[in-house]
Amino acid sequence: MWVKVCGIRDRETALRTAEFGADAIGLNFYARSPRRIELDEAIEISRSLPRHVARVGLFVNHATDDIESITDQCQLDIIQLHGDEPAEFMVDLQRRLPRLKFIRAWRMDHEGLAELQHYLGQCDPSSVVGCLIDAHVPGTYGGTGQTVPWQRLVDEYQKYSLPPLILAGGLVPDNVLAAIEEVKPWGVDVASGVESSSGVKDLDLIQRFITNARQFNDETRSLKKGV
């Protein structure tokens, strides 16, 4: 199970999160988010992380030039588009940044995922490593702690024609294993669910979240071995 912890804002928390076994660290560059990171701090975190931990930059309706500049300075591995960027915008970025991988975030509302397949069908699938499904809360771009309707997501997400599914929205240490067992995503993403207050990460919650998410892998291996 691929695990990403998003919205980390200091080097010590990033390094401890990597030690706990996170596969990716999310650096949030959205100016209106309580998890927004300053560029200098993001550069320091990126330089300090071991290479096996992916550096993911979260962008919300940024200008292309800004994304390119931040990506270069922070040596990002993955760009996560989390705003209202049209497919044409993502295609242009894919052309301009061919070495980069992409995650497209999608906020699931009452209309479900009707437009998602059409949107991603216009993009280059070779560089899209995942589609992150978050809860739709009007006026926000994620990090609300609201849960995605898991069963509806299972019913609507076309796993064989869409990128690997990354589940987000309302995940916490106490429900992440149940969420994984029901949805069976490729990965999980957490931000507010491992915070002691808005924008402030709690190392104990991060460790518990990663440990609980990994239980799915352990249980799966045990079942295959007949234990």
Considering only CA atoms, which of 164, 204, 205 is closest in space to residue 185? 164
Residue of 6, 74, 123, 131 marked active site: 6
Q: Which residue has the tokens 């292309």?
A: 64
Residue of 77, 123, 134, 189 marked active site: 134
- Round to the nearest angstrom and report the end-to-end CA distance of the chain: 20
Strands 195-197 and 200-201: antiparallel
Residue 29's φ and ψ, nearest 5 degrees, are -105, 15
6 catalytically annotated: yes
Q: Which residue has the tokens 């352990």?
A: 218
134 catalytically annotated: yes
- Say which amino acid occupies 132: L
User: Which residues belong to the active site?
Assistant: 6, 134
